[in-house]
Structure 1
Amino acid sequence: MVISRVTQSMLSDRSMSRLQSSLTRMGEIQEHLSTGRVLNRASDNPGDAATAMRLRAAVNAQQQYARNAEDGQGWLDSLDSTLGTAGDVVRRARELGSQGVNGAMSQQSRESLAVEVDQIRTGLLASANTSYVGRPVFGGTTAGSKAFTETAGVVTFAGDTNPVNRTVADGVTIDVSSSGPAAFGPDGDNVFDHLTALSAALRSGDTAGIQAGISALSGDGDRLVVARAGVGARTNAIEAAATKAGDTELSLTNSLSEIENADLPKTLMDLKMQETAYQAALAATARVLQPSLVDFLR
């Protein structure tokens, strides 16, 4: 049987080492309380730190999706409002044309109707050039400031038909634009041409021309309704995506909090227990480090 010899020096070294460990642990708990976090550096818990980094990246992604959805919602709201107004004024132009078909109407009265049609055309052109954050909503990805331009009384499309996509979820993109020609008609046969023709027919009293204008505007109105319905469907989709992004962000944030944040009541209890243990260790060490016989013989 081998008996190990324990010296006063060994007892002192072990006691001091345990005291230091206890003090270090108490310092860690105090740091958790002061910062409110159990993860203050990667070395605190490498595994949890790696998980927290992945969660934080996922949270940032969801926040970006939410911002994209908010921007897309702005585009779609502008489109919906503009298409609604355009549909109303085209309907008004048809009503004016219907009034002008009356053969008993005086030239002065037809002139008044034509003037109002001209005003409708001017207002509709301004609506077709509606912009959101400096970009024409019917112009696609064009760098220009207008979707439609007018030269010598003829309105033509100046943008492009490329989609304006917003990524609102992983692998999910939504086109938040509406093609100018799809909403207002192709060059040479658009709603502006039809309004011009109707105005001229009203001034000249051309009943056949007025009826042709009314028919053409009926098609323009239908086209605007279809375009607005498409905007409504995409609005619903982007609202759903925004809600999902917000819910996912909240869930990820809660998971991140569980990993990073300290449970304050539990941490306070741990600190009290550690303080008690440290005080007990100090008392025990004081007894171990009492003067030895050699000290008394000096």
Structure 2
Amino acid sequence: MRVTNSMMVRNMLDHLQNNLGDLNDLNEQLSSGKLFQMPSDAPIKVADSMNYKSQLNRNNQFQRNLNQTENWLNTTESALKSGTEVIQRARELTIYAANDSMTSDDRKMVAKEMKQLRDELIDISNAKLGDSYIFSGQKTGEKPFILNSDKTDIDNYVDYQGDKNSVKRRLNENVEMGVNLNGHEVFKDKIDKLNKIYRQLENNIPGKDIKGEDLSDNLDEMDDFINDYAELRSQVGGKLQRTGNIIDRLEANEVHLRTLKSKNEDADLAEVITELKMEETVYRASLASGSRIMQQSLVDFIR
């Protein structure tokens, strides 16, 4: 094949353009820190990176759900702890007031504290997390308990306004957890019982003269209340332990996904710098070679 000067120049320009393109690719990798800039640069790697990013987004959403769940459960556990302390104190006062040596006036003095305990338990039952009432079921915007308008109904001092539906949070792909407790079951009978004892201490139950044994009759039920709260706190503690374990797994999974994503798309800067220096050397050699070819003209042969 006959090689002409124009062929040499054209080949030299093609190679020079290829070298310049390689040099540009390496410069972009060095400046961006990424192996590719456009999907067309590496379609398979781009698809893998999109998959990793999607998994990371789901992982982050689960972590947000878990943080909300932990806050909800911690608030619930705190309310149950406070409720237990109220019932225990009410029990102590009931035992104290059940002594038949207590006069009516003495019991009325005890009734003042019992009234405060009753009202405190109502406040505890209306606990909130942010703008949400945690014991109202799915009616989180509604206060769980309001006072019954019928003051003569001793056994129903408060009315429950929430519902009995479960508030659930998805914690990972396979776990959905109910985070709330039914406020009606947790507080209604306790509040009504404290109100009844208060009325007994005040000797304010129509048609009945309250004696020590009438107060003592409340103790077994109050013991049941304390045991109920202990069991509920155990359930909440178990859920908190489970959420903690899931958080640990999600955090470990996030580190793993970020590592895979980085290996897939991040450039090895030391390697890129080495290749860039090599390409610069090749490009300069191409320029030097091309300058010799381009310098030749008819004048060179006339000489």
TM-score (norm 1): 0.93
Q: Aligned residue for 2:207?
A: none
Larger deviation, residues 43-52 vs 137-146: 137-146
Deviation at residue 296 of structure 1 after TM alignment: 4.3
**Superposition deviation, residue 216 in structure 1:** 1.9
Q: Are the aligned partners of 2:100 and 2:211 in contact in 1 as well (CA < 8 Å)?
A: no
Q: 1:231 aligns with which of 229, 236, 249?
A: 236
Q: For 2:295, what is the secondary structure of its paired residue?
A: coil
1:178, distance to aligned residue in structure 2 (A): 1.1
2:36 is matched with 39
Check whether the contact 2:133–2:140 (CA below 8 A) recurs between aligned residues.
no
Match of 1:288 in 2: 293
**Correspondence list, 1:169-180, <5 A:** 169-180=172-183
Alpha-carbon offset, residue 251 of structure 1: 0.8
Write out aligned runs for 1:1-298 (5 A): 4-152=1-149, 153=151, 154-185=157-188, 190-204=189-203, 205-293=210-298, 296=301
- Contact in 2 for aligned 1:184/1:223 (Cα 8 Å): no
Opposite residue 194 of structure 2, the aligned amino acid is L
Deviating more after overlay: 285-294 vs 55-64: 285-294
Q: Which amino acid aligns with 2:173?
A: D
For the residues of structure 2 that align with 1:142 and 1:195, how far apart are their CA atoms? Answer: 26
Identity value in percent: 29
**Could you list the runs of 5+ residues in structure 2 that have no partner in the other structure?**
152-156, 204-209
Deviation (angstroms), 1:288? 2.5
TM-score, length-normalised on structure 2? 0.92
- Alignment partners' CA distance in 1, 2:111 and 2:175: 48
1:54 Cα offset (Å): 0.3
**Aligned-partner residue type, residue 108 of structure 1:** D
Deviation at 1:212, TM superposition (A): 2.0
* Whole-Å separation in 1 of the counterparts to 2:36 and 2:185: 55
Indicate if the aligned counterparts of 1:136 and 1:146 stay in contact, CA closer than 8 A.
yes
Query: What is the DSSP-based 3-state SS (H/G/I as helix, E as strand, rest coil) of the residue aligned with 2:147?
Result: strand
Q: CA separation in 2, counterparts of 1:136 and 1:55?
A: 37
Cα deviation per residue 1:124-165 (whole Å; 9 max; x = unaligned)? 001001011211111111143311221235212211121111
What value does the CA root-mean-square deviation take over the aligned residues?
1.6
Shift, 1:287, TM fit:
2.3
Count of residue pairs brought into register by the alignment: 291
CA distance in 1, matches of 2:277, 2:284: 11
Deviations 1:52-102 (A, max 9, x none): 000000011101111110011110010000100000110100000000111
Contact kept? 1:66, 1:242, Cα under 8 Å: yes
